Structure 1
């Protein structure tokens, strides 16, 4: 069963519900009749906005190019809008964010569900919708109704809003029972399901979409209840000045289409690796990669690359098989050609150490040879594409990009031109002629996905060990609190 069913009726229904709800939520009025208060003036006077958040893929985390995440991007833009700097405290879980906002912070941006019943807090207009989703371990019989959850170990995060939906459902289905945690995050929860400590979990749909490649053992079940609203939290009692400023800022983003574009950028893309591919990749990352990880690290130190990026290239080339050979004669773990091997001084392409070090040096050489006008990730992606299709064909695609009015220094434009090298209309005008130009586009796309998974596994390894250490002999009483049936 695919992670997100492709049934057109279901997909259209979900889209219609979310769009309709979003339009209605956007029209909610800002609270009026309350003095603006000193809060906004305080922020402007001290020249910084203090934001409390959570360190998760959907909120804020340190990426390869620095801080990133959907809510980080929003609050960064809001701070810029106010003309102040941004200070961020991400050392929180959900309740910690709410407590910090009440006591000291300006704003909480942490995938918080809008809940006007919470004391001491005010909320912004809704930013996006949060649809609760039941996910389950792949080896179970797929549950399709709430009644089929009876007897399953289900977990969720307290205060996330998903727990509120479960409590509402329990009034109609009193036999419903689950466990709640204040100490875990979504990735931890999905890890519990994947490892068999839980049978199922309730998270939000966009959270699962962003995490599902890392947990191919976890499957999409069915949605629960009505969508909630993600919003920012502000301290009550300091007036509505900052709240109203945030609402105006969000209204402008929505009206200009920037908010929808940001949501689509972080949560709306399709995952390019299907479950089967991701499951095989993670399995081989655990079984094969340890034999070569130190070689990748050593090569990375010598060539100033992230070792996980080199490992991702190696997997895309050979699935970490040191004896791999293609019909065209490229061989070894990094699949070097005979000519390239000679240039690099690699005399045995089937030797893993020589292949990995040679491939890393070749990628560095390609990156160094690109024009200085190509910078940052665009430079890396084009070097990776050249590793696959050759530098000459990449230059041809850059020239086609210019002819078509695009920017030859931007990967997003060059990747649109590369497949045109397969069409006579275009390749007949180039210096190097025909190339299977669609392949480097897929090649770079896959490596980026493999890198994301390796980065996640590397980042989470210590966290998972710590969590497992807290669960001796299956005792999870310090992590979860049981919500019993209401009977």
Structure 2
């Protein structure tokens, strides 16, 4: 290397605060993102707590994103560490700035997000739906909705969709909430406190297991892909490894089995199931809800997730007994 180039590299390194040696190395000589995280032994992943992504079950963390990330990390030979930003805006910011290796949070791929994030291959498709309360007037189009009757999470893909639709519906106005998550908005619709919100079809499918009055009025979008997001800079080795992993589990059926495991039951309630479920909501859930809410304050786990898990385990029967002799609501 000519002495002039060496001196320039040293000077640039001092100005940027970077180790000068790293500037001498050609890109092919520098360790890749995958090699660096393997050396560290840790994959840092931003996610969100929800029935469709990550939640804590009786035997530990579960959820589609949790299971996918854990399997992917195991293949890399590292441990996965999840972090949970306060809101979707913070999650996207952390990912775009490289504070995490990737985001696995049920993120919709949108043109706006592509400007500051790199996305991997999709693993699921959803549609965005306008949600209303059964028993109230069902709107047939956005033109039937009064200004500010829709509430959405600020910075979400749903707000992006409403901005896009506003060009064709100038009277469309909504409230963007920063202090709540989607499931709190859905609960507000269930209680009649919020007129409408917007949810991905998979989230509505899961929420409807608990909130019996939630219904989709109509779709606001065509099917849109969900994918992992990566920082927009650095080499592409981690995204390529993730794409290869997703392609493999799509071929061998693992992805289909996971989707069936987490979503297959949600749409298969027969008449008797629905009748019993609605009766249990009326008769059993009100007595148990204070305990679920207390557990949320103690653990940080959303009470609705705890209630959903408890229903799967015992149908909210405190006297339930498993074949192995375990008793109680959560068994």
* Match in the other structure for 1:112: 107
**Map of 1:142 onto structure 2:** 138
Q: Which residue of 2 aligns with 1:461?
A: none
Counterpart for residue 218 of structure 1: 214
Structure (1 or 2) with the greater helix fraction? 1
- What's the counterpart of residue 63 of structure 2? 69
Aligned 8 A contact 1:55 1:91 in 2: no
Bigger radius of gyration: 1
Answer whether contact 2:46 2:82 (CA < 8 A) is retained. Answer: yes
Who is 2:24 aligned against? none
Partner-residue secondary structure (3-state), 1:180 = strand
Question: What is the CA-CA distance between 1:280 and the residue it aligns to?
Answer: 3.0
**8 Å Cα contact 1:43-1:49 kept in structure 2:** yes
The answer as to 2:185 corresponding to 1:189 is: yes
Q: Is the 8 A contact 1:53 1:92 kept in 2?
A: no
The answer to whether 1:272 aligns with 2:269 is yes
Point out which structure has higher relative CO (alpha carbons under 8 A, 6+ apart).
2
CA distance in 2, matches of 1:173, 1:81: 48
State the secondary structure of the residue aligned to 1:248: helix
Q: Unaligned stretches of 5+ in structure 2? A: 1-26, 293-306
Contact 1:152–1:200 (CA under 8 A) maintained in structure 2:
no
Q: SS at the partner of 1:367?
A: coil
1:284 Cα deviation (Å)? 1.5
Q: Which structure shows the bigger proportion of residues in strand conformation?
A: 2
- Map Cα deviations across residues 66-118 of structure 1 (whole Å, 9 max, x no partner): 11011111111110111111111124321121122224210111111223544
Query: Unpaired runs of 5+ in structure 1?
Result: 1-33, 294-305, 316-355, 369-379, 385-446, 456-487
Give the match's secondary structure for 2:61. strand
CA distance 1:120–1:57, shift in 2 (3 Å): same
Summarize deviations over 1:3-48 as a string: whole Å, max 9, x none.
Answer: xxxxxxxxxxxxxxxxxxxxxxxxxxxxxxx989731111111111
Q: Do the aligned residues in 1 keep the contact of 2:44 with 2:80 (CA within 8 Å)?
A: yes
Give the match for residue 170 of structure 2: 174
**1:51-66 paired onto structure 2 within 5 Å:** 51-66=45-60
Q: CA, structure 1 residues 41+113, in 2 after alignment: closer, same or farther (shift >3 Å)?
A: same
Separation in structure 1 between the aligned mates of residue 289 and residue 121 of structure 2, nearest angstrom: 48
Write the mapping of 1:16-415 to structure 2, written as runs, cut at 5 A. Answer: 38-101=32-95, 102-115=97-110, 117-118=112-113, 119-150=115-146, 153-269=149-265, 270-272=267-269, 277-285=276-284, 312=314, 315=317, 363=321, 367=324
**Contact residue 113 and residue 160 of structure 1 kept, 8 A:** no
The one-character-per-residue Cα deviations of 1:343-365 (angstroms, maximum 9, x if unpaired) are xxxxxxxxxxxxx7xx56xx47x
Give the direction of change, closer, same or farther, for the CA distance of 1:79–1:288 in structure 2 (3 Å limit): closer
Deviations 1:305-326 (Å, cap 9, x if unpaired)?
x9x67994675xxxxxxxxxxx
CA contact (8 A) 1:57 1:69 kept: yes
Once residues 264 and 153 of structure 2 are traced to their aligned partners in structure 1, the CA distance between those partners, rounded to angstroms, is: 23
SS of the residue aligned with 1:105?
A: coil
Q: CA deviation at 1:367?
A: 2.1
In the TM superposition, what whole-angstrom CA distance separates every residue of 1:241-267 from its partner, at most 9, and x where no partner exists? 111111111111122222222222212
Question: How many pairs align?
Answer: 284
TM-score (norm 1): 0.52
Q: CA deviation at 1:162?
A: 1.8
Q: CA RMSD in A?
A: 3.4
Partner of 1:467: none
> What's the TM-score once normalised by structure 2's chain length?
0.75
Aligned equivalent of 1:377? none
> Are residues 310 and 186 of structure 1, via their aligned partners in 2, closer, same or farther at CA, if it must alter by over 3 Å?
closer
CA drift of 1:212 comes to 0.7
Q: Distance in 2 between matches of 1:265 and 1:311?
A: 15
Shift of 1:227: 2.1
| Deviation at residue 120 of structure 1 after TM alignment | 4.2
